[in-house]
Homo-oligomer: A and B are copies of this chain.
Amino acid sequence: MRNIKMIVQYDGSNFKGFQRLKDNDNTIQGKIEDVLSILTEEKVEIIGSGRTDMGVHAMGQVVNFKTGCKESVEKIQRYLNNYLPESIVIKEIEEVDDRFHSRYNAKSKVYLYKIDNNKCQNPFSRKYSYHIEKKLNLDLMKEASEYLIGEHDFSSFVSSKSKKKSNIRKIESISFQEKNDLMEIYIEGDGFLYNMVRIIVGTLIDVGLKKIKPEEVQEILEAKDRTVACDTALAKGLFLFKVQY
């Protein structure tokens, strides 16, 4: 069996998230598997580097799958891009070592969160950013983000629906870019809990709006209690930006 690795981009607006739920559902995984299964005449199962929730996008999701199909990777890519909806794109494809596993081998992931900080929502990024009308204070948000860097118990920053045993994760970096009133927040870490990026961003937004002080982020971390952190930021502003191996 060959092992094929692909980098996938998707506009998650109209999907029920990455992970296949049942046959013929409206998920990224389901769409890709259905087209691959027709091409290869096999029941193909793709392994993603991780799930993304309903409405979340990806610029660099990584998946791999095993197949006995003899077609060239170029042909597989072209076939997928022809038959997938335009909102899912196979950006890169290559045959890799049999042992490569897109989830187990991932060393770190980078998420990107986009905030439209224009007074009026920009109509062109309305599906790809969270609109916050009131001007955010970037300096305070940067200061707050420092408390989150490093290895911590992120129990305050995980959805109460999560069933993971350990909530200890390591955040490598949080960086900010601003251009034309669009704020971009890049968060890199070794792994992320359910809704973790969106709760972190929701908390940073409250700092930027001066609802809470930067140093309160330290208290929120220490509380290890989801109810003390801030609201979960909207899914539509979130992108799985890159997976590093």
Please give, as numbers and ranges, the residues of chain B lying within 8 Å of A86 by CB-CB distance: 121, 123, 126
A89 within 8 A of B: yes
Task: Select one of B77, B87, B120, B122 contacting A81, CB under 8 A.
Answer: B120
Do residues B123 and A10 form an inter-chain contact, with CB atoms below 8 A? Answer: yes
Do residues A89 and B122 form an inter-chain contact, with CB atoms below 8 A? Answer: yes
Residue interface mask A141-160, B partner, CB < 8 A = 1: 00000000000000000000
Residue of B nearest to A87 (CB): B123
Please give, as numbers and ranges, the residues of chain B lying within 8 Å of A89 by CB-CB distance: 120-123
Please give the number of chain A residues whose Cβ is less than 8 angstroms from any Cβ of chain B in the complex. 20
Please give, as numbers and ranges, the residues of chain B lying within 8 Å of A211 by CB-CB distance: none
Please give, as numbers and ranges, the residues of chain B lying within 8 Å of A126 by CB-CB distance: 11, 86-87
Indicate how many identical chains form the complex: 2
A115 within 8 A of B: no
A192 within 8 A of B: no
Do residues B120 and A124 form an inter-chain contact, with CB atoms below 8 A? Answer: no
Please give, as numbers and ranges, the residues of chain B lying within 8 Å of A5 by CB-CB distance: none
Residue interface mask A106-143, B partner, CB < 8 A = 1: 00000000000000111110101000000000000000
24 A-B pairs with C-beta separation under 8 A: A9-B120, A9-B122, A9-B123, A9-B124, A10-B123, A11-B123, A11-B124, A11-B126, A57-B124, A59-B124, A81-B120, A86-B121, A86-B123, A86-B126, A87-B123, A87-B126, A88-B123, A89-B120, A89-B121, A89-B122, A89-B123, A90-B120, A91-B120, A124-B128
